[in-house]
Structure 1
């Protein structure tokens, strides 16, 4: 039966209805519950979902359509029939395989083990209710036109990478090919296993599915002229090791016709990406709940149009124009590091207005930090929201701009802090502080230093509350923690030079609370 990834906690009775709603012509050897972050080694059941997905991620995923995955326990490798590739042709004893010149077509549901080399195309054109599994076991397919592996029709298709195998898929360089990827599926597509897969397309995408694309295992390397991995309805990575070099977006989901689709979810595995455009580009939501994600991008590190959640894992944006951007950004867990030439974390998108020339009104965007560790190194604004910034927990360190036309903190609708620890070090010209009414105390100081300078904050008794080493030139420090009490006096010391400040009072020359917007 076709499995649905249920990325949120459904009541078991409802989940059972979802899971028994469809079937395929291939018969699996064993039945199991739906999986979240499934791998070839072990599948998790619906009962595991609450523990597997942090609440902040589950709440967003609950509003999206379920993704589709073919788990390895739904088919048996022992049932596989062979397809042997040989230069410009192939041989197979399977009745569901047709060979015409250099085109090999799978026409029926089943499990097929593919080995050898083909200068041509491997096509799946099976019935609409068929489950087709392609076990790549030392397979190399190089196309002269279009996709090297093209799925024309089926219900679900799985590509399994056999243990110990190395497989190579190379698409044609034609930029106007109908099937615009080296691996292209007009169906749901799952990639699993423990083997290796290298995908290259010098004119198009690497791996693309017009429905759901799920990566649950394997060591996968993608080098693509355009997008690396694209699942139009959804892109889900829950296992495996993925390396991407893409001229366009590294990870993409771009369904515009359904607000519950077009999302990207990293729930496990390791992803290392270099992108000429965005690292992640989601038409609706982008969610990271576990997994290691590292990206160097020429545009946004992570971008979504609706909601962007980081609730776990280890996320590093080593290069970007804007590091993290969405209309609603929620940092709830994990460790996130962002380096950007413009804004580090930018809540924007509800309005084309904003900015110093376009007005300073609150247009409804939200940046919410409730947990995790966030480190930002930005040449533009460090934390920026065209609406509000709210912090209730977590640890945030911002090394902001050196120029006075941006600030380490920037909001149109104000900054409120009720928990966690925040230090924002940057220029002074546009420095902003939290609201005077913020439940948690904060302090601001106009103090100067350079890269390598030590910033130390002490209370009235001389006890050290916190200490930081600056990474660049600065002229302003804003700090908030549970140890700061409004109205009390504290000392901010930079390389031995002490400045006395009163908590809850904006530094001279700064923007104060209430926001000023960018």
Structure 2
């Protein structure tokens, strides 16, 4: 802290009047009433300027070790007229301190700067800070070619907990920030230019390792929908903009405060809104670390879940509530973690532009909404990510802190919520380059990594009713351009291009009235080794003997396993449980025709094994084709449009459907000699259909598991035939209804 004897206090109207510069006329503030006048303050080095009464105050000049203090409850406008404050001696806890419930407007005239002391290893304080408690507000706006640069802090650039920060106009630049750029309960950007860069001193150091609760390291373990993270080293928060209060359940192993009780469970409600309705926002958190699924640089250890976490990677825009980007806002993001992350809903609409140039996951939220229903125009969203482009995944979070400092803890996240991706209008382009290595420089280290993820991934439904969606995913593996746990509905009003692989057959919609055409082969997960043709596992022997090995070639009879590939090649299509080989080269030209009319043409950036295209321009009455022109050869496939009347008009017949014990249902159907496989649809009566694909054409039965005892289920089956690279389906059988035991 500064020596109080060396500070100049300016408190209240009487003291301010004594320091007026008589030769300077009063400055009218355009946005205030015509009677509002500015009091011009005389400031010196090593002084503290205290504002204790409502009013308009102007500060200008360049000063060292001078701070500004606005007391609680005061409504004040501070005109920064080419003002520069420098914390040269690293003595100020905060350069601008704002009291509880104060309402402050900073009006910018010319170029102003607040220069902190990021070189100090001990001083961790925000440049602009609102005291804890109360709400209060901070508004930044242009007063004439105005800009404000906030730079050099081991903490946040602007910390406004429990308050609202509004940026109306002017230029705000936050650099060399080792905490969050802006942290507040709510942030609203309606105009201006906002440029935030956060960094971390140990961005090239790995604090995570494999295992569980390793001393001196952070660890992550994941199983199904539960993730457990043990934090022994708190690397801090380095987000571009962070808003709200996190929803959580928490407890403390030990406490010293009389206000807390050890091992008692507390609950905190979530809140916060980040709204960007105009202006230009540029966020860069790439200098805080790296999160990637594949890292080829040696010396780093992956977590037990396979992820590499180096430094302290953090989100660009994060909300513990919702994020809304609308109007004509322009947002550009380069992130070491998520580009946009919200505990609630991310909405991008109107003609807003969002360009996520780099991120681990592009957009992550419980719900993601792009555009509006029946809109004639929409936003433009582009994403290049290391993992999923969009991920609809809500979660419930529980913390067990070691003590009330909350610096070491165990965090358990369980996926839940009503997750969905809804696209109504606009244009979405997602790219996941799994082929080409990328390099990032963190401090003095260069790290090389590769991308791997789904294009759009929803733990619930995906509903595309309009707009344009272009997804370029990885060519092989278990990640596909479109992936969901619920239903995928595609309307005839939407255009969708999905390029990559289709290991689970989820790229094709499950519902909707779209007309589409495909190229290439879908992969299939096949059967697990030793599984019976009806999906059940064999009964173990009771006499201690080993079962006879299968005779279908799944295992060699001598007990030796096949020699694994040494050059990274994939097994032939149909044998690879994670999709086929890349048969379409990067740089190939893809042409889509409906009849003789070319409706779409593009050059794909990455190799692929599967292409899906749907558009209002395709006609169900015409022959729709995809032609792939590669560098050396031309290859064309013609497919029929989606139909339910092919393979000779055959209808699949269910022979038996019976309930087994342990919440199972076994379905047996008649074999169709023309079929290449079968699709089973089942649901709780009145619920949504779920689908299971049987890719072995000789299999005529299937056991459905994981059902609920006492519930009534409906089951139907249809055959499919592969026609020039596309599954053409026969008619469904009659629905069988039965109760699960």
Partner in structure 1 of residue 561 of structure 2 = none
Q: In the alignment, is the contact (CA less than 8 A) between 1:362 and 1:413 conserved in 2?
A: no
1:221-254 deviations in Å (ceiling 9; x for gaps): 10111111222x2011111111110131111102
Deviation at 1:443, TM superposition (A): 2.6
Partner in structure 2 of residue 484 of structure 1 = 618
The structure where helix makes up a greater share of residues is 1
Deviation at 1:220, TM superposition (A): 1.4
Q: Against the structure 1 CA distance between its residues 369 and 152, is the aligned structure 2 distance closer, same or farther, given a 3 Å change threshold?
A: same
Partner in structure 2 of residue 402 of structure 1 = 475
1:144-164 deviations in Å (ceiling 9; x for gaps): 2321111124531011101xx
Partner in structure 1 of residue 593 of structure 2 = 458
Runs of at least 5 residues in structure 1 that lack an aligned partner in the other structure? 1-24, 27-70, 89-101, 353-360
Partner in structure 2 of residue 369 of structure 1 = 423
Q: Does 1:345 align with 2:390?
A: yes
Deviation at 1:488, TM superposition (A): 6.1
Q: Structure 2 CA distance, aligned partners of 1:117 and 1:150?
A: 19
1:366-387 deviations in Å (ceiling 9; x for gaps): 0000001111102411111110
Q: Structure 2 CA distance, aligned partners of 1:228 and 1:107?
A: 27
Q: In the alignment, is the contact (CA less than 8 A) between 1:159 and 1:191 conserved in 2?
A: yes
Partner in structure 2 of residue 79 of structure 1 = 37
Match of 1:416 among 482, 486, 489: 489
What secondary structure, in the 3-state scheme, does the structure 1 residue paired with 2:31 have? helix
Partner in structure 1 of residue 77 of structure 2 = 133
Q: Does 1:283 align with 2:295?
A: no
Q: Structure 2 CA distance, aligned partners of 1:515 and 1:221?
A: 51
1:330-354 deviations in Å (ceiling 9; x for gaps): 00021111000100011112479xx
Q: In the alignment, is the contact (CA less than 8 A) between 1:411 and 1:515 conserved in 2?
A: no
Q: Structure 2 CA distance, aligned partners of 1:406 and 1:512?
A: 23
Partner in structure 2 of residue 385 of structure 1 = 458
Q: Against the structure 1 CA distance between its residues 76 and 452, is the aligned structure 2 distance closer, same or farther, given a 3 Å change threshold?
A: farther
What secondary structure, in the 3-state scheme, does the structure 1 residue paired with 2:127 have? strand
Q: In the alignment, is the contact (CA less than 8 A) between 2:520 and 2:611 conserved in 1?
A: yes
Q: Does 1:218 align with 2:170?
A: yes
TM-score, normalization by structure 1: 0.75
Give the alignment's Cα RMSD to 1 decimal.
3.0
Q: Against the structure 1 CA distance between its residues 512 and 445, is the aligned structure 2 distance closer, same or farther, given a 3 Å change threshold?
A: farther
Deviation at 1:121, TM superposition (A): 3.9
The count of aligned residue pairs is 420
Q: Does 1:246 align with 2:198?
A: yes
Match of 1:441 among 501, 515, 521: 515
Match of 1:472 among 603, 606, 618: 606
Equivalent positions of 1:211-360 (< 5 A) are 211-223=163-175, 224-231=177-184, 233-247=185-199, 248-256=238-246, 261-275=271-285, 276=288, 277-290=314-327, 291-311=329-349, 312-332=351-371, 333-350=378-395
Partner in structure 1 of residue 64 of structure 2 = 119
Partner in structure 2 of residue 34 of structure 1 = none
Q: Which fold has the larger relative contact order, with Cα–Cα distance below 8 Å and residues 6 or more apart in sequence?
A: 1
Deviation at 1:77, TM superposition (A): 9.2
Q: In the alignment, is the contact (CA less than 8 A) between 1:121 and 1:147 conserved in 2?
A: no
1:139-186 deviations in Å (ceiling 9; x for gaps): 111232321111124531011101xx11110234467768x4111124
Q: Against the structure 1 CA distance between its residues 500 and 494, is the aligned structure 2 distance closer, same or farther, given a 3 Å change threshold?
A: same
Deviation at 1:269, TM superposition (A): 0.6
Greater radius of gyration (CA): 2
What secondary structure, in the 3-state scheme, does the structure 2 residue paired with 1:317 have? strand
More displaced stretch, 260-269 vs 303-312: 260-269
Q: Structure 1 CA distance, aligned partners of 2:379 and 2:111?
A: 33
Deviation at 1:260, TM superposition (A): 8.1
Q: Against the structure 1 CA distance between its residues 273 and 172, is the aligned structure 2 distance closer, same or farther, given a 3 Å change threshold?
A: same
1:401-458 deviations in Å (ceiling 9; x for gaps): 2332200110111210112111111124345233343222223221732222111111
Q: Structure 2 CA distance, aligned partners of 1:463 and 1:125?
A: 68
The structure where strand makes up a greater share of residues is 1
Q: In the alignment, is the contact (CA less than 8 A) between 2:396 and 2:416 conserved in 1?
A: no
1:44-66 deviations in Å (ceiling 9; x for gaps): xxxxxxxxxxxxxxxxxxxxxxx
Q: Against the structure 1 CA distance between its residues 515 and 465, is the aligned structure 2 distance closer, same or farther, given a 3 Å change threshold?
A: farther
Q: Structure 2 CA distance, aligned partners of 1:113 and 1:288?
A: 33
Q: Structure 2 CA distance, aligned partners of 1:510 and 1:117?
A: 77
Match of 1:149 among 79, 96, 120: 96
Q: In the alignment, is the contact (CA less than 8 A) between 1:416 and 1:434 conserved in 2?
A: no
More displaced stretch, 485-494 vs 296-305: 485-494
Q: Structure 2 CA distance, aligned partners of 1:319 and 1:390?
A: 25
Runs of at least 5 residues in structure 2 that lack an aligned partner in the other structure? 1-11, 14-28, 200-237, 248-267, 289-313, 372-377, 398-414, 433-451, 522-582, 645-675, 682-689, 693-741
Q: Does 1:159 align with 2:294?
A: no
